[in-house]
Amino acid sequence: MQKHRTNLPDWSALIPVLPAAGPRRDALQAELRRLIVTRVLLPGQKLPPSRELAQRLKLARGAVVAAYEQLAADGFVEARLGAGTFVAAQVPEHAAHGTALQAPVPTGPTPLAPAPGKLGGGTVDDRTLRDLRGLFREALLRPPPEFLHYGDPFGDLSLRREIVDYLRVTRGIRAGIDQVMITSGTQSALSLIARAFLPSDSRIWVEDPCYPQALNLFRSLGLTIIPVPVDGDGLDPAAGMLAAPEAEAVYLTPSHQFPLGATLSMPRRLALLDWAQGAGAWIIEDDYDSEFRFTGPPLAALHGIDRAGRVIYLGTFSKALAPGLRLGYAVLPAEVVETVRRLRDLTDRYPNPLIETVLARFMADGHYAAHLRRARKRCRMARDALVEGLSAAPLDVMNPDQGLHLIAFARGDEADAELQRLAEAGGLCSRRLSQMFLKAPARQGLVIGYSGFETAEIRAAAHGATRAITSGRRG
């Protein structure tokens, strides 16, 4: 009986399309060269074995071998003994007939690159990537036991230990390792906590204006939203107690209020803690970017001065490193740990152990602290470039002393929808401030991010937005 291989490699993306007539060997050679030149086939990419390519194209194997040999002689591919044929790392600059071989290098951002000004950009640099790459390589060579088995629903013990040490030094938080839960980001933690402690008819205070993603989550869970106004001292607990004194929870960003940027004053922190203790309410403290303070250390976290065990602290590596890591953490009051553990075990079981292992080493070896020092400097420079680029715009630009975004307020009665349109026409991305208000009178302005962008890039985009907004107003 004829034997058939049932698991042939799928080389479909690498198979050239040849004309039905004419010298097919020459056509194969020309088409492979075109695929290399246009970077459909990338440097270092393996080509199909000659036998399988010949079978797929219904060519003599000798014709494929001859085409490969000619491409190798011209410098387009290289043969590796026992491994196969690969696209050369460096291909010739010009073809024999003078045709340019390499596709032009794009000069602007790729379609997948975020536009300057987009919120939530990561802060990794080349050195950080190099350190992480080495640690990932080690972890893959010796993967943690949890990589092949189910792990702890709260996450890797070594990473939780590093987080406990980090928070004790930087945020004044004293918690046990068993109180720390690794999550796949703040939104994941919010969802888990809300489902664990807040039935669908619960009332929750939120800042007005508020972080939209948190607000959308609370609404989707059927919670009753109680908007509490924000001023220069942050959320006003007195207004919250007047509106809903028996609310079950409050969600806020006390270190750097999103989006307005205020820091919750110490008298209001103490008043909020007193209210939560008396009402038996939960305080959900979202500390999303406290690492990025440019003029001294931030105030102690609410969790650090909580003596009644009412604060649930949320942190994230999305802003400090990169959103793509999908890692955050929650510090829970001891009395609710088992409740949350059971619910976590019913949802996603446990976090990614490979990434946890790498990040634990990254922190333990001092890379994280060094990265934050570099990232703060880069973000401060990007902030300054953004402020400078917008200085001539008809906007009132706030120069924040912390965080990863700023607000450019509209002047007069100009709508921020039109300002956003003009700014984006000039190359600067933004979010409309007015859309983040709930009950308080909406202020018109643009919320603009500066993390993850080179100084020259964000400055150029800001200058472009300034020109577009200025021209738009004249028109």
- Local confidence band at 98 (pLDDT 50, 70, 90 cut-offs): very low
Residues 350 and 210 in one domain: yes
Q: Could you list the beta-strand ranges (E) of 144-267.
A: 180-183, 203-208, 224-231, 234-235, 249-252
Tell me: pLDDT of 20 over 80. Answer: no
Bond into 227 cis (ω within 30): no
Residues 339 and 387 in one domain: no
- State how many domains the chain has: 3
* pLDDT tens column, 128-162: 999 999 999 888 888 877 777 777 889 999 999 99
Domain boundary among 307, 338, 368: 368
Residues 81 and 142 in one domain: no
Tell me: pLDDT of 103 over 90. Answer: no
Does residue 406 sit within a domain? yes
Tell me: pLDDT of 93 over 70. Answer: no
- Local confidence band at 15 (pLDDT 50, 70, 90 cut-offs): low
The CATH number that applies at residue 269 is 3.40.640.10
pLDDT of residue 299: 72
Residues 326 and 458 in one domain: no
Non-local (6+) Cβ contacts of 50 within 8 A are 61, 64, 65, 68, 85
Residues 364 and 241 in one domain: yes
* pLDDT tens column, 418-442: 999 999 999 999 999 999 999 988 9
Domain boundary among 342, 368, 394: 368
pLDDT of residue 99: 39
Tell me: pLDDT of 191 over 70. Answer: yes
Residues 162 and 297 in one domain: yes
Q: What is the mean pLDDT of the chain?
A: 87
Tell me: pLDDT of 403 over 50. Answer: yes
pLDDT of residue 338: 92
Highest-pLDDT range among 100-109, 290-299, 301-310: 301-310
- Local confidence band at 95 (pLDDT 50, 70, 90 cut-offs): very low
pLDDT of residue 96: 38
Q: At what angle do helices 353-364 and 367-390 cross, to 10 degrees?
A: 90
Residues 443 and 356 in one domain: no
- Reference 409, options 442, 365, 458, 380; nearest CA is 442
Range of the domain at 43: 21-87
d(CA 408, CA 244): 32
Domain boundary among 335, 368, 401: 368
The CATH number that applies at residue 31 is 1.10.10.10
Strand partners for 181: 330
pLDDT of residue 90: 81
* pLDDT tens column, 218-243: 999 999 999 999 999 999 999 999 99
Please spell the DSSP secondary structure of 364-390, one letter per residue: HTTHHHHHHHHHHHHHHHHHHHHHHHH
pLDDT of residue 475: 55
